[in-house]
Structure 1
Amino acid sequence: MSLACHKGASRYDLGMTDSNATNSLNDEEIAFLHSIFDLAREGSTEKLMLLIDQGIPADLTDPKGDTLLILAAYNGHNDTVAGLLEQGADINRLNDKDQGALTCAVFRQNEALTRLLLSKGADPHLGAQNAVAVAKMFELPELAAVIEEYL
């Protein structure tokens, strides 16, 4: 099976309507891609790392701009996040809502994951909905203090 992704972005497209487009996907390919994102959501680290070892991009991105890393962080799968970072996932990649993995970790009040991402170089000021702003907006002083430790 060959997968077509946007050039350079590892983003697959579900909404292409141009019949001349060379990178539209068939139903089987779309289902396969959805299953990869489900692995990140579910924290199926071993299976996901195996697919990445076989050539799936660590920065694979869905049509909303969510990366595997963002989905794993949002769902609190610290081991999956660590594995994706080891595989070269971009720690500071933002989705279409201007949110990154660190923003998700802070929003979900996951201190261990927040510390992991900060220790690996996540920028707490990156994006309009950044980790600092989220900690302030949702009145999360414990996580704001964690962020301060890394500034």
Structure 2
Amino acid sequence: MANESQSPHDGPDEETIRLATQIFNAAREGEAENFRHWLAQGLPPNMRNHNGDSLLMLASYHGHVETTRVLLEHGADPELYNDRGQNPLAGAAFKGNLPMVRLLLEHGAAVDGTTPDGKTALMFAAMFDNGEIVDFLLARGADPRARESHGMTALELAAAMGAETTRERLAALGA
């Protein structure tokens, strides 16, 4: 039963919280059909949770290409960073998900967007030895000479992490 003395400034009611939880869980689980319906009914495509994670961030990080596509086609912003300064492209590179990296770039993600410590998607792919993603990002214009906050390039980060495949690829470029 709703508290009739509740002020609109007291925050969301239990039903609203339940619905929001359902929506964010659907993004994590990749429920593309639900999002087709909800977005057509007016769900904001850039809705965020208490951590600043957008629906797109959650769907892409958890590898749900079709749900991510639906969100992007309905106006979700691939450049929304969460409260920790993370972006969907860096998350996809970290996870080694080339189809997701491709989809995000096709829909406007900045190839050289950085986290607060200056790391790019290329750096994450290099550090975790995701050679296909390194090659793809380089082909899409990623800067192999970009430096993160400690002055390290993707090549140096790959070497520090023992990521031999990506270290060799970047070294061959003279990066």
Deviations 1:7-39 (A, max 9, x none): xxxxxxxxxxxx976261112211110100111
The 1:29–1:125 alpha-carbon spacing in structure 2 relative to 1, beyond 3 Å, is: same
Distance 2:100 2:70 in 1: 13
Measure the CA separation in 1 of the matches of 2:44 and 2:10: 16
Matching of residue 147 in structure 1 with residue 137 in structure 2: yes
CA RMSD of the aligned region, Å? 1.8
Question: Aligned residue pairs: how many?
Answer: 133
Aligned position for 2:120: 130
Structure 2 match to 1:93: 80
Q: Kindly name which structure, 1 or 2, has the bigger radius of gyration based on alpha carbons.
A: 2
The sequence identity of aligned pairs, in percent, is 35
From 46, 61, 64, the equivalent of 1:59 is 46
Q: Distance in 1 between matches of 2:131 and 2:125?
A: 7
Q: Which residue in the other structure is 1:3 paired with?
A: none
Q: Which residue pairs with 2:37 in the alignment? A: 50
Partner Cα distance (2:109, 2:77) in 1: 9
Which whole-Å deviations, capped at 9, do the CAs of 1:97-148 have from their partners, x for residues lacking one?
1111111211111111111111222112223243123123323232111111
Q: 1:84 aligns with which of 58, 71, 91?
A: 71
2:55 and 2:10 mapped to 1: Cα distance?
21
The answer to whether the 8 Å contact 1:132/1:144 transfers is yes
Unaligned runs of 5+ in 1: 1-18
**Length-normalised TM-score, structure 2:** 0.70
With normalisation by structure 1, the TM-score equals: 0.81
Aligned to 1:111: 98
SS of the equivalent of 1:98 reads: coil
Q: CA deviation at 1:49?
A: 1.9
1:119·1:150 contact (CA, 8 Å) conserved in 2? no
Structure with greater helix percent: 2
Corresponding letter in the other structure for 1:133: M
Q: State the one-letter code of the partner of 1:77.
A: H
Contact map agreement 1:91 1:101 (CA 8 A) in 2: yes
Render the CA deviation track for 1:23-73: whole Å, top value 9, x for unaligned.
Answer: 611122111101001111111101122111112100000010100000000
Larger RCO: Structure 1 or Structure 2 (Cα < 8 Å, ≥ 6 residues apart)?
1
